[in-house]
Amino acid sequence: MMLAATNAQRAAIITAFLEKRLTGSQCRDEAMHTAVRYVIHKEDVPGVRQLASAFNLSPRQFERKFKQYAGFSPKLFSRITRFQAAMSRYEPAGKKQSSKSLTQIAFECGYYDQAHFIHEFKTFSGYHPKKYFSGKAEGIEYREA
């Protein structure tokens, strides 16, 4: 993978590897599939206790099954999906529509305040949001392609 010339080639290598691994997986739990889809598509995800109750499981059972099915704990998975939602809502200035401020995006995605958003953003990207979206952070070239 390190010898691939472009990020697109790296992504293709990773995709092929993961698809091969998933082919052998026979985990078909419709309730967990529904729970994962719910967390991905819902903007305001309830806590683990509420999710567990909705799927008639104890919180511990729900966490264990969710992690087995999705690969992450429900809390981490919802943090990742919220981060991805924030990234997808950012529009660089200069497009037809005026871009939203990072604070607006943070509140729309369910972050408590700007500090919470910045902390989560640094955790997942390694950069402060302003630096990341300025185009000066290393390793973000794939976003332009």
Contacts of 23 (CB under 8 A, 6+ apart): none
DSSP-derived secondary structure for 68-97: HHHSS-HHHHHHHHHHHHHHHH---TTSSS
Closest CA to 48 of 71, 29, 67: 67
Q: Among 12-21, 37-46, 73-82, 96-105, whose mean pLDDT is lowest?
A: 96-105
Domain ranges of the chain: 26-82, 90-138
pTM: 0.68
Amino acid at 62: F
Compare 52 and 19 and report the one with higher pLDDT: 52
Which pLDDT does position 61 carry in this prediction? Answer: 94
141 or 2: which leads in pLDDT: 2
pLDDT of residue 27: 57
Q: Which of 9-13, 18-22, 88-92, 141-145 has the lowest mean pLDDT?
A: 141-145
In the predicted model, is pLDDT for residue 93 greater than 60? no
Mean pLDDT of 75-102: 77
Name the nearest CA neighbour of 141 among 13, 15, 8, 2. Answer: 8
Task: State the pLDDT confidence band at 145, using cuts at 50, 70 and 90.
Answer: very low
Contact 45, 25 (CB under 8 A): no
Fold of the domain spanning 26-82: Arc Repressor Mutant, subunit A (1.10.10)
pLDDT at 78 over 80: yes
pLDDT band at 140; cut points 50, 70, 90: low
Widest pairwise Cα distance in the chain: 49
